Structure 1
């Protein structure tokens, strides 16, 4: 999944999302390679 959204934290454009096999969001990285957002939300928003 590609994302083209600017991060409010560091203005890094989001490039891709790392997810586990169950589809839970783990990390979203920007084009600089920095972790912009880190969480463990599943597809329904549960943490």
Structure 2
């Protein structure tokens, strides 16, 4: 996750604020994965 700190995005700043012992980290990870899956499926649909 430290690699994300190099990107000046609001998401990486939000990740910096999280301690990895908090349950919100798993929620953030889930939302991130869900977003990536949505983009992947959408691109696959476009490229049919």
**What's the TM-score once normalised by structure 1's chain length?**
0.21
Higher strand proportion (structure 1 or 2): 1
Higher helix proportion (structure 1 or 2): 2
The structure with higher relative contact order (CA 8 Å, sep 6+) is 1
**What's the TM-score once normalised by structure 2's chain length?**
0.21
Q: Say which one has the larger Rg.
A: 2
